Chains A and B, each alone.
Chain A
């Protein structure tokens, strides 16, 4: 009675459609700029952005850093902030879900802080950390920690109560139920949090860099505006988008591997 995964064959049209839609998008974009439907001072054509990209690979001008330098700074900030939000948010949410003492202490504080948009913390952050790395890490952390807490909390709360009863009859302690039952059954939600938190972190990264930075992809966008170089702005936006999508894909792959048993 061996189990075999059912393989669904994708029809050719389903494979072609996304490619066609993306190509059309870029083509229309190029034409719009080419024929001055939108003035060149307001939008750059994809080819210009491409040229600028090749330029920026080696040339730190006009904004003071090569592509790699900006990307590296942003990646560092995002990565640290993201890790910090996972490291604090996930355990906090999981504990809040199962242990009523933790819930009682942390929930009201969390609900109080949660509605404040991370960007609103920027002034205070500049007082505390200046415009260096850690200030932005802090903003990014604030953005990412909220979905981490909420998702892992909800994941634990959704643990099947009959499974908890079953474990109790086996003589399981609260801690055993937490580790053997609540945490694994919260995993799908936790993986959801990895994705959502990443999106939040990345968004807040750009926000933080727009206002307080001297390097990074967000800073590149700001400089593009100041120097009136639309292709630099678009290049910054595209890089942020692509990098975000790439990390998202990596997380999804890892998730699918780890959850193969739970997902059908």
Chain B
């Protein structure tokens, strides 16, 4: 049941990253990176620790100015005020003074969506991630996994042009992670968002993504691109899956 019926190559380009370069003083972190993301594609990015994955997302989301190069959404220079770029951060980013429901609505309130649309959309998202029963609680009253689901729901609720995820499940235990990864795939299949998912967990990357970009050590370049053309739901013990995982692992270890 692969939702992406058409090959990523045949879908229109959504995101165009052109010669993205980032320096911190003398330290060259991102070295002339270019790639495309197709409409509705699920792209994973893996790389060794400290290679600049977070920096990379910060540049993509325009939180940080780039040293050279730029990011285009639908052919226009990316702009958070115009485009919907959602970011799920490494750490949980719930607003403690808002209920679960109002946390999910936050991004849309910032974008000044009409009230009715927000309510509709929030109801829909809460239902999708199974938070309807807890919608009136505050973040400190729900479990850690729910907190991350709130931020994921908030990110998807904005109907993002581009959804950036920075190791969102890095801090959670394995069982929970599998569960949330499945939920993430379900959300992506239902809502057809364009996702860039950063992780240092290779298995996770191969499990969720349609395509995996492997980054090198600093100064970081794209070292390889691996297409993951496996049917879903994927099985971690499927020989093809194991082979792909091994391929990516070997790519990362070559430095």
Contact = CB atoms under 8 A, between A and B. Distances in A.
Most chain A Cβ neighbours within 10 Å, of B61, B137, B141: B141
A1 B143 contact: yes
Given A3-B141, A165-B87, A166-B87, A261 B63 contact: no
A258 to B, nearest CB: 10
A262 B141 contact: no
Contact of B97 (A162, A173, A185): A185
Interface string B78-95: 001110111101010101
Nearest to B61: A169
A252 to B, nearest CB: 18
A176 B143 contact: no
Given A1-B142, A3-B141, A264-B140, A168 B63 contact: yes
A216 to B, nearest CB: 39
A187 interface: yes
Q: State which size class the interface on B falls in.
A: 20 to 34
A166 B61 CA distance: 10
Interface string A1-24: 101000000000000000000000
B104 to A, nearest CB: 12
Most chain B Cβ neighbours within 10 Å, of A162, A163, A169: A169
B108 to A, nearest CB: 9
Interface string B95-115: 111110000001101110000
Contacts of A173: 81
A83 interface: no
A122 to B, nearest CB: 41
A1 B110 contact: no
Contacts of A1: 133-134, 142-143
B158 interface: yes
A166 B91 CA distance: 11
A37 interface: no
A170 B80 contact: yes
Q: State which size class the interface on A falls in.
A: 20 to 34
B178 interface: no
Contacts, number: 72
B138 interface: yes
Contacts of B140: 261-262, 264
B196 to A, nearest CB: 13
A3 B100 CA distance: 13
Interface in A104-158: none
Contacts of A184: 95, 97
A256 interface: no
A241 B98 CA distance: 37
Interface string A74-89: 0000000000000000
A169 B86 contact: yes
B63 A171 contact: no
B96 A168 contact: no
A167 B89 CA distance: 12
A262 B164 CA distance: 28
A1 B110 CA distance: 30
B143 A163 contact: no
A181 B107 CA distance: 12
A172 interface: yes
Given A163-B95, A170-B110, A185-B96, 16 more contacts: A1-B142, A162-B93, A165-B63, A166-B87, A166-B89, A169-B61, A171-B81, A171-B85, A180-B109, A180-B110, A181-B95, A184-B95, A185-B97, A261-B96, A261-B98, A262-B97
Interface of A: 1, 3, 160, 162-163, 165-173, 176, 180-181, 184-185, 187, 259-262, 264
25 contacts: A1-B142, A3-B137, A163-B95, A165-B58, A166-B87, A166-B89, A166-B93, A168-B61, A168-B63, A169-B61, A169-B62, A169-B85, A169-B87, A169-B164, A170-B86, A170-B107, A171-B81, A171-B111, A180-B106, A184-B95, A184-B97, A261-B96, A261-B97, A261-B140, A262-B140
